[in-house]
């Protein structure tokens, strides 16, 4: 794919992102409380006539980690928090990426998250990587890492996507969770299992509309210690109290 074609596609996605309209409230500012509006959910359910017309509203927090960045023995990983606001559902990813650069890992974090979606969604991607956000907003050219950019652009097909930059380690708790998941993958040099991710996701939404990051960190440390000692995952997985009548963004 030529550079001009990729840049043109990115511009189109930027316009689509800006046309999405109002997104649900979630914590962007430091210490802002995060809530899920059940009232709005009920109103949305009445407006849905068929499953084919339904478009989940999803927020993705993506982050990456890399040690020895740029060296031949570099080691990178990515972490993702995905929130389906309509179903009050959380999906986590902690993926080991191997010997790629930090910038490449930041791109892959967004790409992999988008590739987990199984239906058309309205998405806001939140990242602390200006490199990713500025490029996908059309402010940078794709001079390097073109194969990575091409895959990210293709992953956007079929969705309304908007992009938001936040400062790293600024108190946005879901972004902090993504950071810890990225570091976890680098630490154990493998993916954290889906079962462990589901269990950890259950701690992030505990039924009280509040994010319990301290308990999350403690459980994550226990899981990583088990990986380091035996490479066995923690079971069983958590059981979400999701609203089952709405199709999930994360399954067909």
Q: Which DSSP state fits 60?
A: E
Q: Are 181 and 4 in contact (CB under 8 A)?
A: no
Q: Are 88 and 80 in contact (CB under 8 A)?
A: no
Average pLDDT of the residues in 68-82? 93
- C-alpha distances (whole Å) from 180 to each of 25, 134, 155, 162, 171 are 23, 24, 24, 24, 13
pTM above 0.75, yes or no: no
Higher pLDDT, 89 or 243: 89
Task: Give the Cα separation of 79 and 62 in Å (integer).
Answer: 6
Dump pLDDT digits (tens) for 118-161. Answer: 999 999 999 999 999 999 999 988 889 999 999 999 999 999 99
Which residues, including other chains, have CB under 8 Å from residue 120's CB and lie 6 or more apart? Answer: 55, 158, 159
Residue 180: name the closest of 115, 240, 93 by CA. Answer: 93
Say what the pLDDT of residue 105 is: 97
Beta-strand runs (E) in the chain:
57-67, 75-84, 89-98, 122-127, 160-165
- Give the pair of three-digit tokens for residue 154: 């293709």
CATH architecture type of domain 3-20+53-189: 2-Layer Sandwich (3.30)
Say what the pLDDT of residue 22 is: 42
Say what the pLDDT of residue 203 is: 81
- The domain spans of the chain are 3-20+53-189
Dump pLDDT digits (tens) for 80-133. Answer: 999 999 988 999 999 999 999 999 999 999 999 999 999 999 999 999 999 999
Q: Are 223 and 233 in contact (CB under 8 A)?
A: yes
Q: Is the pLDDT of residue 23 over 50?
A: no
Q: Is the pLDDT of residue 60 over 50?
A: yes
């Amino acid at each position: 794919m030529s550079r001009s074609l990729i840049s043109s596609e990115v511009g189109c996605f930027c316009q689509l992102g800006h046309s999405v309209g109002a997104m649900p409230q979630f914590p962007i500012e430091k210490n802002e409380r995060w809530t899920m509006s059940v009232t709005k959910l009920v109103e949305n359910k009445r407006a849905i006539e068929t499953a084919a017309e339904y478009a989940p509203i999803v927020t993705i927090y993506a982050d990456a980690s890399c040690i020895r960045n740029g060296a031949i023995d570099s080691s990178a990983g990515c972490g993702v928090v995905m929130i389906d606001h309509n179903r009050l559902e959380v999906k986590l990813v902690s993926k080991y990426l191997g010997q790629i650069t930090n910038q490449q890992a930041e791109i892959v974090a967004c790409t992999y998250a988008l590739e987990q979606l199984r239906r058309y969604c309205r998405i806001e991607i939140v990242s602390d990587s200006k490199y990713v956000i500025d490029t996908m907003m059309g402010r940078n050219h794709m001079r390097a890492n073109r194969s990575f950019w091409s895959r990210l652009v293709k992953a956007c097909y079929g969705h309304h996507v908007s992009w938001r930059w936040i400062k790293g380690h600024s108190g946005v708790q879901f972004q902090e969770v993504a950071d810890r998941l990225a570091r976890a993958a680098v630490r154990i040099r493998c993916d954290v299992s889906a079962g462990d991710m589901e269990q950890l996701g259950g701690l992030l939404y505990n039924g009280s509309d509040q994010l319990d990051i301290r308990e999350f960190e403690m459980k994550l440390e226990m899981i990583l210690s088990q990986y380091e000692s035996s490479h066995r995952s923690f079971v069983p997985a958590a059981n979400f109290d999701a609203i089952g009548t709405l199709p999930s963004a994360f399954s067909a």
